[in-house]
Amino acid sequence: MKVISLKDVKENVKNVVQKANFELNEDVINVIKESMEKEESPEGKAVFDQLLENAEIARKEKLGLCQDTGLAVFFVELGEEIQFKKEDGLESLSQAINEGVREGYKEGYLRKSVVEDPLRRKNTGDNTPAFIHWELVPGDKFKVTFMAKGGGAENMSAIRMLAPAAGQKGIEDFVVETVDSAGPNPCPPIIVGVGIGGNFETSALLAKKALLRRPLGSHHSDPFYADMEKRLLERINKLGIGPQGIGGRITALAVHIEVFPCHIASLPVAVNIQCHSHRLLTFEL
């Protein structure tokens, strides 16, 4: 049985929330550079230049890539053969993760973006609670992926329960329509996570997972869905929204799809939009 210290979990969370907010991963930088080459509008190219310059300044000076440092979203793959050692007053895994968020956001001078009640809207003051999604896995794997999810892009996400007869075309039209009506609001160039199948709540989680399951710009392992990703990216990039919504060829950097079995009478589809400030980081213990 593997034993992991809750203090180590907290320290790692504290580090990743800061590092992810200061540094874009290499795959993200590479896709931004490749997309800049494809952008034909001079204004669009200038936006790409600014994004790269911004990323360089944030990395060097340890400053937030964006003023909106996001909700702290976690996907945790939790092995069934792990025990957690209580330490430093930490009694549970979720407490350790929340404490890491609290300390990391404070230490990194990252904006606190959570209100404790959706209508009365008092800021919790420390960016908690974290939004944690657990996945039990066999063995002793403990893998934590953090994503800083800004409000502007999250607000433009959508879900629809299609009839199965809507098929591939119905799904693709819904995805393109969602991006089109979002316009400049999610800070393009965006990344489009699409969850197909499952039920109402599963499809939303699949769409979010699609943003972080694999390197940016890679394709689905099933050629059928890889083709759908390519087709969707092409259609989205014909919308003309462009970088920061000022017009141009590149509205999206990538489209990633995740799928799951579903009910014979259902075809759920969710679209989770991510902005160009695609901040995520993984650690394993």
Max CA-CA distance within the chain?
A: 58
- For the record, the structure tokens of 275 come out as 């902005």
Distance CA 186, CA 153 (A): 4
Size of the site for ligand SF4 (CB under 6 A): 11
Asked if 152 touches ligand SF4 (CB under 6 A), the answer is yes
- DSSP per residue over 237-274, as a string? TTS---GGGSS-S-SEEEEEEEEEEE-TT-EEEEEEEE
Report in angstroms how near the CB of residue 6 gets to ligand SF4 at its nearest.
Answer: 30
Window contacting ligand SF4 (CB under 6 A); options: 18-26, 149-157, 216-224, 230-238: 149-157
Window contacting ligand SF4 (CB under 6 A); options: 128-136, 145-153, 210-218, 224-232: 145-153
Asked if 229 touches ligand SF4 (CB under 6 A), the answer is no
Q: Within positions 55 to 94, which residues make up the interface with ligand SF4, using CB under 6 A?
A: 66, 68, 70
Asked if 157 touches ligand SF4 (CB under 6 A), the answer is no
Distances in Å between the alpha carbon of 88 and those of 8, 21, 260? 10, 26, 40
Asked if 247 touches ligand SF4 (CB under 6 A), the answer is no
Asked if 277 touches ligand SF4 (CB under 6 A), the answer is yes
Report in angstroms how near the CB of residue 231 gets to ligand SF4 at its nearest.
Answer: 25
Phi then psi for residue 127, to 5 deg, are 65, 15
Q: 94 with 132: CB under 8 angstroms?
A: yes
Between 70 and 243, name the residue whose CB sits nearer to ligand SF4: 70
Give the residue, chosen from 64, 186, 189, 268, that forms a contact with ligand SF4 under the rule CB under 6 A.
186
Pairing of strands 2-5, 82-85: parallel
Window contacting ligand SF4 (CB under 6 A); options: 82-90, 150-158, 192-200, 202-210: 150-158
Distance CA 140, CA 133 (A): 18
Report in angstroms how near the CB of residue 139 gets to ligand SF4 at its nearest.
Answer: 35
C-alpha of 275 from chain center: 9
Distance CA 248, CA 244 (A): 9
Per-residue DSSP letter, 115: B
Q: 146 with 13: CB under 8 angstroms?
A: yes
Between 70 and 100, name the residue whose CB sits nearer to ligand SF4: 70
Between 228 and 275, name the residue whose CB sits nearer to ligand SF4: 275
> Which residues contact ligand SF4 by CB under 6 A?
66, 68, 70, 150-153, 186-187, 275, 277
